[in-house]
Chain A
Amino acid sequence: MIAARSVSLTIRGRTILAPSDLALRPGTVTALVGPNGAGKSTLLKILSGEIRPGSGEVAVDGTDIRAIAPAALARLRAVLPQSGDVAFAFTVDEVVRIGLAPGIPRATANEIVRRALAAVDLADRAAQLSPTLSGGEQQRAHLARVLAQLWSSGRGDACLLLDEPTASLDLAHQLLVLKLAQAQAAAGGAVLAVLHDLNLAAMAADRVVVMSRGRIVADGTPAQVITREMLGAVYGVSLGVERRGNRVFVLPAGMEAA
Chain B
Amino acid sequence: MTTAPPTEAVPAEEAGGPARLSPALALTGAGIAVAVAALLSLAVGAIPIPPSRVIAVLIQSLGGRDAIDPALAGDALVILDIRLPRTALAMLVGAATALSGGVMQGLFRNPLADPSLVGVSAGSALAAAAWIVIGGSLAASIAPVVGTLGLPLAAFAGGLVASVILNVMATSGGRTSIVGMLLAGIAINGLAGAGTGFLVFIASEQQLRDFTFWTLGSLAGATWIKVLLVLPFAVAVALVAPMLARGLDAVALGESAAFHVGVPVERLKRIAIVAVAGAIGAAVAVSGVIGFFGLTVPHIVRLACGPGHRLLLPASALLGAALLTLADVVARTAGAPAEVPLGVITAAVGAPLMLWLLAARRRSMGE
Given the complex, which residues of A lie within 8 Å of B254, measured CB to CB? Answer: 81, 83-85
User: CA–CA, A73 to B110, complex, Å?
Assistant: 27
Shortest CB–CB separation between residue A82 and chain B, in angstroms?
9
| B contact residues, range | 35 or more
User: CA–CA, A108 to B4, complex, Å?
Assistant: 8
Asked if B12 and A91 sit within 8 Å, CB to CB, the answer is: yes
Asked if B263 and A70 sit within 8 Å, CB to CB, the answer is: yes
Contact (A93, B11) CB under 8 Å given A107-B4, A128-B17, A131-B365: yes
Q: Check if B179 is an interface residue, CB within 8 A of chain A.
A: no
Asked if A89 and B307 sit within 8 Å, CB to CB, the answer is: yes
Q: For window 282-299 of chain B, which residues contact chain A by CB distance below 8 Å?
A: none
User: CA–CA, A83 to B256, complex, Å?
Assistant: 10
User: CA–CA, A237 to B104, complex, Å?
Assistant: 49
Over the window 237-250 of chain A, the binary record of Cβ atoms lying under 8 Å from chain B Cβ atoms (1 yes, 0 no) is 00000000000000
Q: Check if A210 is an interface residue, CB within 8 A of chain B.
A: no
User: CA–CA, A42 to B3, complex, Å?
Assistant: 42
Q: Check if A71 is an interface residue, CB within 8 A of chain B.
A: yes
Of the candidate stretches B31-39, B63-71, B216-224, B245-253, the one touching chain A is: B245-253
User: CA–CA, A110 to B308, complex, Å?
Assistant: 17
Asked if A126 and B308 sit within 8 Å, CB to CB, the answer is: no
Contact (A74, B260) CB under 8 Å given A93-B12, A94-B306: yes
Asked if B18 and A126 sit within 8 Å, CB to CB, the answer is: no
Chain B, interface SS category? loop
Instruction: Report the number of A-B residue pairs with Cβ-Cβ less than 8 Å.
Output: 113
Given the complex, which residues of A lie within 8 Å of B259, measured CB to CB? Answer: 49-50, 70
Over the window 75-102 of chain A, the binary record of Cβ atoms lying under 8 Å from chain B Cβ atoms (1 yes, 0 no) is 1001101011111111101110011011
Asked if A87 and B17 sit within 8 Å, CB to CB, the answer is: no
User: CA–CA, A254 to B260, complex, Å?
Assistant: 44
Contact (A89, B18) CB under 8 Å given A78-B260, A81-B256, A94-B306: yes
Given the complex, which residues of B lie within 8 Å of A173, measured CB to CB? Answer: none
Residue of B109, B111, B261, B302 with highest tally of chain A CB at under 10 A: B261
Contact (A88, B111) CB under 8 Å given A111-B1, A127-B16, A128-B16: yes
Interface size on A, residues (CB 8 A): 45
Asked if A81 and B264 sit within 8 Å, CB to CB, the answer is: no
Contact (A106, B6) CB under 8 Å given A50-B256, A91-B18, A127-B13: yes
Over the window 315-336 of chain B, the binary record of Cβ atoms lying under 8 Å from chain A Cβ atoms (1 yes, 0 no) is 0000000000000000000000
Q: For window 107-127 of chain A, which residues contact chain B by CB distance below 8 Å?
A: 107-108, 110-111, 114, 124, 126-127
Report the nearest A residue to B12, measured CB to CB. Answer: A127
Known: A74-B262, A91-B18. 12 other contacts (CB 8 A): A81-B260, A84-B253, A90-B249, A91-B306, A94-B249, A94-B307, A98-B252, A110-B11, A114-B4, A127-B17, A145-B261, A149-B260
Q: List 21 A-B contacts (CB under 8 A).
A: A70-B264, A70-B265, A74-B261, A79-B256, A81-B260, A83-B254, A84-B253, A86-B252, A87-B110, A87-B111, A88-B252, A89-B307, A91-B12, A93-B11, A94-B249, A101-B262, A107-B2, A127-B12, A128-B16, A142-B257, A149-B261
Interface residues of B, Cβ cutoff 8 Å to A: 1-6, 8, 11-18, 109-111, 246, 249-254, 256-257, 259-265, 302, 306-308, 365
